[in-house]
Amino acid sequence: MKMITSTSNETIKHVTTIVNDAKARRKEGLFAVEGMRIAREIPRELLEECYVSEGFAAEHDLSDIFGYDPDPVVVSSAVFNKISDTRSPQGILCVCRQIKDTAEDFLARNAHGDLKLLVLEKIQDPGNLGTMIRTAEGAGFDAVIADENTVDVYNPKVTRSTMGSLFRVPVLYTDDLAATVDSLKRSYVTVYAAHLNGSRSYRDADYGRRVAFLIGNEGSGLSDEITAKADELVTIPMHGRLESLNAAVAAALLMYNILEL
């Protein structure tokens, strides 16, 4: 069995770049995910390469994980530690192809029928974004739309937080969020913004079959421009001295509130 033992190997340098560099990920249309649990979730058509440590290869049958032989590249423990983004590597890392889609194309394919969307502005925390994507799947949402100032969905911290939902919930970036919200409204999607100046509780709003929720930056919330695009501002009632909830928690409340619609 041939094994890569040098951290200066060109293949290893490339993988390390994909793990750490968002610009390289975008340019090559690749990203990396790490860990056995998320490896089980990878659609076969998206798997580009699989890297396993020598110890992992000795202890696991990869056919049991993937349902087929992914023809892995075996590396030494030192090399795996080099490409890993975690403190306690499990010993398996996969390079996958990104799912290419645009908000415009998605809306064109979904011009009719029920539609539930989460729309994000300037979300910066990778854990928050990953949790929102995971929650969107659980609540039956069709897609997440994000502006370009939102953290890269293929950031390793985000992919870990999604627990595999990344492969099932489209995450669509837009370079003009205001224009995209206008497109939603032209497509008969009613747009709600979680906002301190909301006219009524999120529990009392009259939701239709085509709905989008706007969630803003963790610190500053939604910009005035995007807030003004909403059809209605809704509030999440607060006790104590809090003004607002964590962005991911707020998104979860809004999404699960219409789970049965």
Task: State pTM to two decimals.
Answer: 0.93
What does the DSSP assignment read for 226-260? HHHH-SEEEE----TT-----HHHHHHHHHHHTTT
What does the DSSP assignment read for 71-97? -PEEE-HHHHHHH--SSS--SEEEEEE
Q: What's the gap between Cα 45 and its chain centre?
A: 19
Phi, psi values for residue 61, rounded to 5°: -95, 110
- Name the region of 29 (left: φ>0; alpha: ψ -120 to 50; beta: rest): left
Which amino acid, 121? E
Q: Please report the pLDDT score of residue 194 as a whole number.
A: 87
- CA proximity to 33, closest of 4, 46, 23, 45: 46
Phi, psi values for residue 36, rounded to 5°: -70, -35
- CA proximity to 229, closest of 172, 190, 178: 178
Beta bridge pairs of residue 191: 212
Q: With contact defined as beta carbons under 8 Å apart, do 123 and 218 qualify?
A: yes
The per-residue pLDDT for range 203-234, each reduced to its tens digit, is: 999 999 999 999 999 988 999 999 999 999 99
Mean pLDDT score of the chain: 94
Q: Please report the pLDDT score of residue 238 as a whole number.
A: 84
Distance separating alpha carbons of residues 34 and 103, to the nearest angstrom: 27
Residue 246: CA count within 13 A, CB half-sphere? 9
Question: What are the counts of helices (DSSP H) followed by strands (DSSP E) for the chain?
Answer: 12, 12
Of all residues in the chain, the percent with pLDDT exceeding 90 is 89
The per-residue pLDDT for range 55-81, each reduced to its tens digit, is: 999 999 999 999 999 999 999 999 999
- CA proximity to 208, closest of 121, 114, 108: 114
Helices (H), the chain: 10-20, 22-28, 36-39, 54-59, 62-66, 77-83, 103-109, 126-138, 156-162, 177-186, 224-229, 247-257
Answer with the residue of higher pLDDT: 197 or 148: 148
The per-residue pLDDT for range 133-169, each reduced to its tens digit, is: 999 999 999 999 999 999 999 999 999 999 999 999 9
What residues contact 61, with CB distance under 8 A and at least 6 apart? none
The per-residue pLDDT for range 105-120, each reduced to its tens digit, is: 999 999 999 999 999 9
Alpha-carbon Rg for the chain, nearest whole angstrom, is: 20
Tell me which residue has tokens 């415009």: 104
Could you tell me the pLDDT band of residue 261, with boundaries at 50, 70 and 90?
low
User: What six digits make up the tokens of 7?
Assistant: 């951290």
Q: With contact defined as beta carbons under 8 Å apart, do 7 and 51 qualify?
A: no
